[in-house]
Structure 1
Amino acid sequence: MGYRGTGLLVGRPCNGSAAAPLCPEPPVPPLETARDFEHLDLSGTKLPHRIAMAPMTRSRSGAAGVPTALMAEYYAQRASAALIVSEGVQPSAVGQGYPDTPGLHSADQVAGWRAVTDAVHGAGGRIFAQLMHAGRIGHPSLLPEGEVNVAPSAVAAAGQVYTAEGPKDFVTPRELTADEIRATLADYVTAARNAVAAGFDGVELHGANGYLIHQFLAPGSNHRDDGWGGSVEGRVRFAAEVTEAVAAEIGAARTALRVSPGNAFNSIVEPEPEPEYTALVERIAPLGLAYLHIAEDVPARRALTVRLRERFGGPVMLNPATEGPTGLDALALVEEGTADLVSFGQLFLANPDLPARLRAGGPFNEARRATMYGGGAGGYTDYPAL
């Protein structure tokens, strides 16, 4: 996710004198193509173009996980996206993986999100909630007292997570029982129902980047042999059943799934991801989901992306693998038919009016990494529009 730009294009003296103030350089020729700015219908969610805002953790909701007025301003600023996918939202208290991330499991959280969605809709936008259970990623200090992190199997991830007490090593999670897995499925369904009550246009299930759904899919983190693992069908089961259950509750047209085949982030081990993801996509394809969101980890994964797109048969959003953050050249993926939408992360973070800037070919603000997570308005709502 992100951008490849180098910041605002400046450097030309306004009156030709070397001592004069610098003026913006003329933008490069626009990269608009025939399809990038075409309308798209996601089973009833009508999009004005093909440039989506990728989900990005920003950690500004406070310890109670309640969205704030500042968050409403942030998302409304970016309402010109074809579709906003929210930051990861925990479907239950035990699903939290990072400090100050929002939830969708309490009445206060639903009310807080209603203010966000009202602001986005008031600005003409559309927004899906990304439901993200972190599973083994996180730390007990981030959870309610007495709770521990859970996962398909008692296999710890390597590395550390930031907490209010500083960085802490990931702990060995508690293996979910079969009954607890079913209860977790129910948590997703309740959170999806809450998302609709909060005014979201739909939900995206986060099955990527090493979080709980991905942990079930990956043989390195799923060592079960009880029907929720032990085979391709077993490892696919949780992802498929979550998707089916949420689609049954709120409608397939308001349900989407994000996957990242082979992505090693958060200690995921998937030596041969194609069998699991092919089986998963073939199982959910008949549902008629709003879209499938594919996050590529390396350019060599493009062939698998194309095969999954063929098997899915519906709209595909792509967060492509690039040498740097996703930039202007990603628009060609829509024109050539590799994807129906392209999701931008850091570039949307720093440029609230990104579609207009892409249409014009720039210029682009540069993201400030020091303010990406936590804090206030700085590096959040203070990026200028054109």
Structure 2
Amino acid sequence: MQAPLEISRPAMLRRGNSRVLRNNGSNYKAVRKSAKQISCVSSPAAPTTDRLFNFSAGPACLPIDVLQEAQEDLINWKGSGMSVMEMSHRGKDFISIADKAEADLRALMGIPDNYKVLFLQGGASTQFASIPLNFTTAEDTVDYIQTGSWGSKAIKEAQKYVNVNVAATDKPNNFTNIPAQSEWELSSGAKYLHFCANETIQGVEFKYTPEVGVPLIADFSSNFLSKPVDVSKYGMIYAGVQKNLGPAGCTVVIVRDDLLGNSRPECPAMLDYAIMAENDSMYNTPPCFSIYMCGLVLDKLLKMGGLSEVEKNNKAKAAVIYDAISGSDGYYNCPVNDAVRSCMNIPFTMADSDLEKEFIATAAENGLVQLKGHRSVGGMRASVYNAMPMEGAEKLAKFMKEFQSNHS
């Protein structure tokens, strides 16, 4: 039997139920006729295969080489004699997988030692309730910034448990901008401030980290691991993994130690971050296969050179599509303010909205799929997460120009 994966970045110890990490903080159907997709712009040597370019907002495309490695190990992981999907989460093989995933995530993001990393179930939406149940009493007040659909859902859920002050909103402008921090009306004595770092539906993204005098909590679901982030500026970061990290079923929570242990008596055990931390995210059976897949992606991102390289790739891909929009003389339009346009989710409409259905259908015939905008806003949306290769962005931009030429 082959030995379990070694933990190399950073060194790791286990004490009882809790893992202790020594971290040096380093910055570490349709048609396929022409869709030949490589795994990622930074991995040109990866084998090609017949693939569609999937612009879905999530579950999103995954790197080809990661899928191939998982395929090779699907029945017999590293000579263990079983699939990861069959392993006991208490066994040494899966523990090695989980430990390495956490170690690699810490190395990739430079997560300080005084933060816990949790791999949870329930999606980011479950955190909308978990956050007030862990960090507030019913009498407390918290601040929320409302910049789109997911920020709005977080507010609605939190209002069931705590007094919510909407310190800023761009709702009157249909969430096409982010209000300047100088305009925020923050509460005195708020327990935390919550914001959505990237709104998947509206396509607005924070380009800076707000500075406030209370714990900062952010939903990074759709731009997690797309760029470097200074974790030390946050009380908590959380993200569903199905955009940039792995298959649906797992949510990453990164939470500062001093915020743990103050949950309400009525907080369910499964939503209590302290309980999950004490049990290494294994209070019950965790989403094992999703964690395994996340681990493969994390290893790949480290080998790519880290998040600075990832960010360069993502900016370049997004620029190709935004340039196609801005160069169309109004044929295509992105409603989002230039300063806050997302590198991950690019919504756009057409001057002749009657042609949008034809655009989406014809794009699919050319191997460009999942471009229909969210039902709440309409139009089109191209999600260009980490695993979308430059080839996909370039092919979409070329198609947009050709479609315009054929319909003008």
Query: Rg: which structure is higher?
Result: 2
TM-score (norm 1): 0.25
TM-score (norm 2): 0.24
